[in-house]
Structure 1
Amino acid sequence: MEATVEQRALTRRDLLAETWLVLGVSLGASAIWSALSLVRKLTAGPPLGSQTTAMNSSVTPDRPWLDFVYQLVGIGLALVPVILVLHLLSRSDVQARFAIGWDWTEPTRDVVRGLGLAALVGIPGLGLYAVAKALDLNTTIAAANLADVWWAVPVLILAAAQNAVLEEVVMIGYLFTRWSQAGWSTSRIMLSSALIRGSYHLYQGFGGFVGNAIMGLIFGWIYTRTKRVGPLVVAHTILDVVAFVGYALLKNHLSWL
């Protein structure tokens, strides 16, 4: 005879503990490492504006086939927290993926909204980056540093999509759901999520923190209206594709990059 295990409803304490544990193995841990990276750069001697932050770098540039495997495995493992939070949400709502708008029910609307949102965030973001760098509050961002191989651009596009899915599903879809269930106010949820988002970009400098925190507030506000992370993923993917692929294609032709 099979024993039955009685399940209890998650308490406020359970919900908050779960979110901090999820953050601890994903973007919250990134925020801690990012803060340490900023401290290292601030104490290195040269001002932030004269330092460079390299992203999307080759691991084994002398062995492109192995580097390709490293890049794909890194992208795949970075998406594990997304699967984790969808699993956790589905324990209380089997339609969790649809509840947060991570589905294909409105593809055209998601893409159109995402395009508009990318323009709204991206253009002012470039201005903020330029100002922060001029004031020595941000490092120079070298957004793509893969070897000159055929798979560089496809991998950069995959990396952009991975960043977008990870950040928007976890920071918006998951946290907004769980913190709301825990009784937090909408304004508290939006501000907390935005500050964490800014924090894991501190490795870029103070400009990266401010710009991404503002982006988090905008994305959070839109999510409270639409209840869909789809447009946010589209917008974020576009922003990172432009940054990563654009840098890779133009860095040898524009001296100011």
Structure 2
Amino acid sequence: MTSPTRWRAEVLLVAGVSLGQSAVYAAVRLADMLTRGPLQDSTASLNNSQSTRPVFDLVYQLLGIGFTLVPVALALYLLWLDGQGSVLERLGLGPGRDSGGGDLGGGFVRGRRDAWGDAWRAVALFVLIGAGTLAVYAAGRALGVTAQISTNNLNAAWWTVPVLLLQAVKNGVLEEVLLFGFFWDRLEKLRWSPWAIIVGLAVLRGSYHLYQGFGPFVGNVLMGLIFGWLYMRRRRVMPFVGAHTAIDIAGFFAPGVLTSVDPLF
């Protein structure tokens, strides 16, 4: 199998068991909602309970998180097969390439600098994208093109908070590592131009949010364009994992923020 054929196959297979599959289901869900009535009267529910029995609900939640991350492990394995050194360094999920070697002191300093840089960029992205998300959601609800989003539908239990935190981390890792870590690498090897990659991945990001309506689709495409442009400049995935996780944590633990924007319109 030639390398381009292999890379195309890997992109299709990884997408088919992860974000591409989600995009197809999201499109079908949107069609289902549109044929039932006005989109603004529909509800998109996240983090739903899987059982009325708390212990089994917890087991189902943890299984769901674990199996959802399997495509990430597959993508990292495929990248490792390239034989180009540490996958975490390549993706910007750890210290930069020149932080290793025999200079342990220099490596520590570089690693700490990378960590601080990733942290402040994640916070900046969280503020920027978080505010933009509320604005796009409010506009979508006002225009009737966005479903009401209910972000926390778990039964109250001692494990609810940890599970919601794990769900947020899972979303950040799954989406950002696959989009910027794996798909970007493979599309670049297939000689896509940087902006073709940015736009293509942004549209994919928006597509698997279609179950929330057209507003979130547009909002996530814009988010993808911003994230993609910034990733192209520094090639580190970690700030986007951090920002995405923080955005989801805010949405999961403050669900009233989304519903509160409806009366404004």
Could you say whether these structures have the same fold, taking a TM-score greater than 0.5 normalized by the shorter chain as the test?
yes
Distance 1:151 1:211 in 2: 31
1:173 counterpart = 2:181: yes
> Where does the alignment leave 5 or more consecutive residues of structure 2 unmatched?
96-110
Pairwise CA distance, 1:254: 6.2
> Which structure is higher in helix share?
2
Q: List alignment gaps of at least 5 residues for structure 1.
A: 1-7
1:30 aligns with 2:36: no
Structure 2 residue identity aligned to 1:212:
N
Residues 148-202 of structure 1, C-alpha deviation per residue, up to 9 Å, x if partnerless?
1121111111100000000000011111111111111001101111101100000
| Aligned amino acid, residue 216 of structure 2 | G
TM-score (norm 2): 0.88
Cα distance change, pair 256–65 in 1 and its aligned pair in 2 (3 A): farther
Bigger drift between 214-223 and 12-21 goes to 12-21
Three-state SS of the structure 2 residue aligned to 1:184 is coil
Pick the aligned partner of 2:86 from 80, 87, 95: 95
Q: Confirm or deny: 8 A CA contact 2:179 2:201 kept in the other structure.
A: yes
Within-5 A mapping of 1:95-244 = 95-103=86-94, 105=111, 106-244=114-252
TM-score (norm 1): 0.91
Q: 1:77 aligns with which of 67, 92, 103?
A: 67
Partners of 1:98 and 1:255 lie apart in 2 by 41
Is the 2:207–2:217 Cα contact (8 Å) retained in structure 1?
Answer: yes
3-state SS of paired residue (1:238): helix
Question: Given residue 144 of structure 1, which amino acid in structure 2 is its aligned partner?
Answer: N
Give the conservation status (yes or no) of the 8 Å contact 2:14–2:71: yes
The code of the aligned residue for 1:78 comes to T
What aligned pairs does 1:47-62 form with structure 2 within 5 A after superposition? 47-60=38-51, 62=52
How far apart in 2 are the matches of 1:200 and 1:254? 25
How far does residue 11 in structure 1 lie from its aligned partner after superposition? 2.2
Q: Distance in 2 between matches of 1:19 and 1:165?
A: 18
Counterpart of 2:27 in structure 1: which amino acid?
A
Q: After the TM superposition, list the runs of 4 or more consecutive aligned residues in structure 1 that deviate by more than 4 angstroms.
A: 253-257
Say yes or no: does 1:18 pair with 2:18: no
Q: Could you say which residue in structure 2 is the equivalent of 1:3?
A: none
Matched AA of 2:80: S
